[in-house]
Amino acid sequence: MLDTYFVQKEGEWFSFLRTNSGTVNWQMRSANGVGVCTAVSGTAAATLIDFAGAIGSILNIGDNVYAATLTAGVATTAPIFIGQVTAKTSTSITVDTTVAGGSVPTVGQFIMFIKNAVAESHGARGYYLEFELKNDSTSPVELFSVGSSVMKSFP
């Protein structure tokens, strides 16, 4: 975890739990479908993906895009990473497919996206939590206490 995630208040350091970068969990609210792509054009660094209907406002620049092949309206392949959104209109997105091994989608694939895992973290869930603290400094430090705050969720 980056030290910039912590803020000091009244002599104590505070932060909230974040998901590891690169984590993909399709069951989270940060994952959404866009639709079936109707046309693909452009270069690898600026691949334009068109859709028949409106995209909506949830998808944003910087979101990671994935594609799955459909057979009779059902996804028959696991989602594959396409790239990162660099621009969007009401019915198309521009994706940089050169990011981290992305690939150009094909017409007819179902396109979906997921938000940044670190930014969209949902904290700790369940009955217990294990965590590890690391000090990469060569200077001695003292950890006086570790605390937490718990709140009931009302979904």
pLDDT in tens, 121-142: 555 555 666 777 778 888 888 8
Of residues 23, 63, 54, 44, the one with CA closest to residue 105? 44
Q: Which two tokens stand for residue 30?
A: 């940060």
For 36-84, how does the pLDDT look when each residue is reduced to its tens digit (9 = 90+)? 999 999 998 999 999 998 988 888 898 889 999 888 878 788 889 999 9
Q: Is 113 helix (H, G, I), strand (E, B) or coil?
A: strand
At residue 39, the pLDDT reads 94
At residue 1, the pLDDT reads 47
At residue 126, the pLDDT reads 59
Range of the domain at 52: 31-114
In a domain, 135, yes or no: no
Assign residue 131 a region (left: φ > 0; alpha: ψ between -120 and 50; beta: otherwise).
beta
Q: Specify the pTM.
A: 0.66
Total domains in the fold of the chain: 1
In a domain, 66, yes or no: yes
Residue 153 has pLDDT above 50, yes or no: yes
CATH of the domain at 66: 2.40.30
In a domain, 15, yes or no: no
**41 close to 48: Cβ distance less than 8 angstroms:** yes
Beta strands in the chain (DSSP E): 7-9, 12-14, 31-43, 46-51, 64-68, 70-71, 74-75, 80-88, 92-96, 110-114
Residue 9 is classified by DSSP as: E
Residue with tokens 């430090």: 141
Cα 137 to Cα 97: distance, rounded to the nearest angstrom: 38
